Chain A
Amino acid sequence: MALTTYVEAIKQGIWEEMERDERVFILGEDVGVYGGAFKVTEGMLDRFGEMRVIDTPISESAIVGAAIGAALMGMRPIAEMQFIDFISCAFDQITNFAAKNRYRWGAGVPMVIRGPSGGGVHGGPYHSQNPEMYFVHTPGLKVVAPATAYDAKGLIKAAIRDEDPVIYLEHKYLYRRIKEEIPKEDYIVPIGQAAVRREGRDLTILTYGAMLYQALEAAETLAREQGIQTEVVDLRSLLPLDKDAILKAAKKTGKVLVVHEDTRTGGIAGEIAAIINEEVFEYLDGPVLRVTAPDTPVPYSPPLEDFFLPNKEKILKAARQLAAY
């Protein structure tokens, strides 16, 4: 069976949903003629036509606002942010209109806002951001961040079929670096379910996105060099969090390390640490530790960005500290 890249999996997911449901359409900058800055929508204009693959002005707020209007009229829009950094331009539409609509007057807004997030490709401060927590802090939204090609396809399909607005963060570092066999048959990955990527009894690493691979490499080294068996959990959904999976893994090993590429203060790690403290404190054998980016913008120059990003070495250091408890 041929291997499918992460980016191809996203494209397949959107394509299949557009074939399956004529209410699904995509709008954004350069998504039509050009096929998207990262080619996620390549070929869609020819297949689905310009009323379903809509090139828009550079107007993120209008793109999201129009998607909201279309969703209210019964459509299933997918709004592409060319880089997820630009989602800040649409912050108001997302947090005040899309997120609160159902709660206020019962009118749901089924739509997906998706775009390339994350660093590691020397994109600098405006093409590398991880904006998840702005939205995780907004009741009414859902936020997902796939790490595998299988999940990329399954989560985009679940997001499109969801009745509520979903922020879908695709990690651009993974676009063409990750490939795997994925089923031909239709499937979804339910929103709100984490996945155990590696079983272990000594230590738990909770992570998501591109950091999954750094965590898995660190776990491999810990096992090989020190015989430490690390459980690695891929969160996949940040809102809602899979609390059961988090608590289960915390209880199992008593030692939890949370790893994310997002910056430290207000990152999801703090929230996870609080949940673990509140609910399974008596099972803990050590503090919940964090490995995150520092509280700075994402820098451009290679030595700066390498310093900024969490990696296997930083994870190993924290894991060894935690294992020593």
Chain B
Amino acid sequence: MLARDRKSQGVGPRTVSSSVRPATDATRVPDDASLLKMLYYMKLTRALETRIERKLYRQGKIVGGVYVGRGQEAISVGAAMHMRRGGGEDHDDIVSPSHRDMAVFLMQGVPPEKILAQYMGRKTGLTRGRDGNMHMGDLRHRLIAFVSHLGDSIPVAAGCALTFRMHGTDQVSFCFFGEGATSRGDWHEGLNFAAVLQLPVVFICNNNQYAYSTHVSRQMKVERVSDRARGYGMPGESKDGNDVLVVYDAIGRAVERARHGEGPTLLEFLTFRMTGHSAHDDAGYVPKVLFAEWERKDPIRRCEDDLKGRRLLDAGAVQAMESRIEGELDEAVAWAEAQPYPSPEECLTGVYHEQA
């Protein structure tokens, strides 16, 4: 079934000469523009989150928690490449990101300055100061806001997919979570529900091996999150989450299944959280050797080297891309810092629907 899907995929593997064939398990590779786009968004995500976590937070400009996805950028970027957008309610996919999927927000069209205003509690942030950090959503960007109760968005994502099934469209619901969330009852209920009703959901696990301080071995007895897929009667795979092409490939196949009415897929991407749980956490419980080991597998450098190998860019082009990003972020930070806070009495509004 999966092999047939691969063949039916319109964007087939690019023909690349053996001399520049990259070291990746991916069986299909996007076009050059897409490859460059993926690198750009991984770099933008890293740079934005680095500013937030290591600069603005330390400067006291972000008052609440900060959770970033350093080292995990390939997963949300590779997945977001497959999200259909810009075609209206009966066409666009829907996304339920986790708190470590910043790239999804950027690729769904949320400008960095709006995200920064959100982090700073400003009136023009996505939640108008009602909530902080990655707790943001916007249906115009087809993004459902995450809640701290991990796993809650699994049944919600299934409900979005249920609507697509009812309407008979080929839209897909993308649902992200970490391996820690898979211990929640809602996660189980949501996967089972989606499988029983054969709903078009792609379940995407960022297995970064630590849930706060708890190692994955204390989270589950099975070796892989994807081992659980069989229990729900859906296909499951575990893949290298630090290779954006592998992610792109695996998500693409799951999306095809979903669009063709073949139901949900559980994909686990192995990666590593290259920072603490949040900005205040020094991750002293993580053996240093692991950081060193995963630093060598950094998804951005791998992608960059790969693209250099394909002769899509050189050192100068990389530098130009990074300069462009830093310039964009300078402007975004300046804009966000100039934004007003909400007025105190706005606390009382918007609990219920208000007549326009």
Contact = CB atoms under 8 A, between A and B. Distances in A.
Interface of A: 25, 51-52, 54, 56-57, 59, 61-75, 77, 92-93, 96-97, 100-108, 139-140, 142, 162-164
A103 B130 contact: yes
Nearest to B131: A104
Interface string B120-154: 00000011101100011111000011010100111
Given A65-B156, A69-B156, A72-B156, 20 more contacts: A56-B193, A57-B193, A59-B192, A62-B190, A64-B155, A65-B189, A69-B155, A69-B157, A69-B160, A70-B160, A73-B164, A92-B149, A93-B155, A100-B147, A102-B353, A105-B126, A105-B131, A105-B137, A139-B351, A163-B353
B185 A107 contact: no
Contact of B145 (A62, A64, A104, A164): A104
Given A104-B145, A140-B352, A69 B161 contact: yes
Interface of B: 89, 94, 126-128, 130-131, 135-139, 144-145, 147, 149, 152-166, 173, 185-186, 189-190, 192-193, 196-197, 350-353
A74 B147 CA distance: 20
A67 B130 contact: no
Interface centre among B126, B138, B160, B189 (most CB of A within 10 A): B189
Contacts of B156: 65-66, 68-69, 72, 93, 97
A240 to B, nearest CB: 9
Nearest to B143: A105
A61 B184 CA distance: 11
B186 A93 contact: yes
Nearest to B190: A62
Contact of B166 (A75, A102, A108): A75
Nearest to A65: B155
B155 A104 contact: no
A66 to B, nearest CB: 3
A52 B166 contact: yes
Contacts of A164: 352-353
A61 B192 CA distance: 12
A102 B161 contact: no
A212 to B, nearest CB: 26
Nearest to B166: A51
Contact of A107 (B137, B159, B197, B352): B137
B330 to A, nearest CB: 27
A57 B196 contact: yes
Contact of B163 (A74, A108, A162): A74
B163 A65 contact: no
Contacts of A59: 155, 189, 192-193
B192 A74 contact: no
B130 A104 contact: yes
Given A73-B160, A104-B145, A105-B126, A62 B193 contact: yes
Contact of A92 (B136, B145, B165, B186): B186
B130 A62 contact: no
A103 B348 CA distance: 9
Contact of A106 (B162, B166, B350): B350
A102 B92 CA distance: 22
Interface centre among A59, A71, A100, A140 (most CB of B within 10 A): A59
Nearest to B130: A104
A299 B348 CA distance: 41
7 contacts: A54-B197, A61-B189, A70-B160, A73-B94, A73-B163, A102-B352, A103-B130
Contacts of A101: 145
A49 B10 CA distance: 35
A61 B173 CA distance: 18
Contacts of B137: 104-105, 107
Contact of A104 (B135, B149, B157, B165): B135
Nearest to B144: A72
Interface centre among A25, A61, A62, A140 (most CB of B within 10 A): A62
Contact of A62 (B138, B149, B155, B351): B155
A65 B149 contact: no
A150 to B, nearest CB: 25
Contacts of A74: 89, 163
A97 B131 CA distance: 13
Nearest to B147: A96
A79 to B, nearest CB: 10
Contacts of B161: 69
A104 B190 CA distance: 23
Nearest to B94: A73
A52 B192 CA distance: 19
Nearest to A101: B145
Nearest to B193: A62
Contacts of A97: 147, 152-153, 156
B155 A103 contact: no
Given A105-B136, A164-B352, A62 B192 contact: yes
Contacts of B126: 105
A285 to B, nearest CB: 34
A57 B144 CA distance: 24
Contacts of B352: 102, 140, 142, 163-164
Contacts of A54: 162, 197
Given A102-B351, A105-B131, A108-B353, A96 B189 contact: no
Contacts of A69: 144, 155-163, 173
A105 B192 contact: no
Nearest to B148: A96
A25 B166 contact: yes
A74 to B, nearest CB: 7
A101 B197 CA distance: 25
A68 B193 CA distance: 14
Given A51-B165, A75-B163, A97-B147, A103 B350 contact: yes
A159 B128 CA distance: 28
Contacts of B160: 69-70, 72-73
B121 to A, nearest CB: 13
Nearest to B118: A105
A59 B152 CA distance: 13
A98 to B, nearest CB: 9
B153 to A, nearest CB: 8
B159 A92 contact: no
